[in-house]
Amino acid sequence: MKLSIQPKDWSLLLVALTTFMPWAAAFGNATYSGNVSGTFSDPVLSGFAIDTDGSHLSSDNTTTAVFTGFGTNSITWGDFTASSLVFNGNSFAGVQPGQTFELGTLTYFNGASTLESLIFGATLTLSAITSPGPIDPGVAHLGMLNTANGTGSVKRDADFLTFDVFPVTFNVLEGASASAKLFGKIEGDPELQVTGIELAPGQDDNAFIGNGQPAVPDGGSTIVLLGVGLGGLGVIRRHVK
């Protein structure tokens, strides 16, 4: 059986191809440009801190935690000298699928508060308005791990953030503020994936990146920190007054 295409059919086919091909080329060989923004949500109101002797201090702060800013890119928590965490997103251009690029900056201030006023985690959702088309947001669940002061080591007295998307920590010394660069890539459907963090230039006196992987061995009742930076276990808890 031989099919024939009439002149009018060719014109319709040409219209379809000229409409589809630029779109297919844009997404099949995309380079992305756009702007990243971040929003904090879902404060975790119960968890653990680490005392000076390394023991765990558990607290359910459902009715006592002090926090503001959720639903924005800047949160604070605590009742004495509040801690804060701010995400400032970057613009980007010419990013290819799978290419790592800088998403923005996390700035963390390590304040001093009572244990009962703390939060123990939050969700950071990173969205990007991009060309040639939309991408799904990236999500990172953060843990705020707090350490008691008075261990005799500024490293061990530091408080820090953990990330569920990669096994390193962002450790900030007591009473200090520090910034770190957050990195990611565009892959899959496409979607934004959060892949890493490093200190911003000039931050070494106030913070460090730990290379330990926190683990919860018994379903959440304890937290063990393995190999966190110089001082091992102890880079974790916030000023518990």
202 assigned to some structural domain: yes
Torsion angle of the four alpha carbons 48, 50, 56, 58, in this order, in degrees rounded to the nearest 10:
-30
Question: pLDDT tens for residues 79-127?
Answer: 999 999 999 999 999 999 999 999 999 999 999 999 999 999 999 999 9
157 assigned to some structural domain: yes
Residue 104, φ and ψ in degrees, nearest 5: 165, -165
Question: pLDDT tens for residues 47-68?
Answer: 999 888 878 899 999 999 999 9
11 assigned to some structural domain: no
23 assigned to some structural domain: no
Gap between the Cα atoms of 109 and 112, Å rounded: 10
**pLDDT at residue 4 above 90?**
no
Gap between the Cα atoms of 32 and 29, Å rounded: 10
Average pLDDT, the chain: 81
Question: pLDDT tens for residues 172-181?
Answer: 999 999 999 9
Gap between the Cα atoms of 193 and 10, Å rounded: 43
21 assigned to some structural domain: no
Domain of residue 150 covers 33-240
8 assigned to some structural domain: no
Gap between the Cα atoms of 173 and 26, Å rounded: 46
Q: What's this model's pTM, rounded to 2 decimal places?
A: 0.77
Question: pLDDT tens for residues 189-215?
Answer: 899 999 999 999 999 999 999 975 443
Contact indicator for 161, 147 with CB cutoff of 8 Å = no
2 assigned to some structural domain: no
Q: How many domains are contained in the chain?
A: 1
28 assigned to some structural domain: no
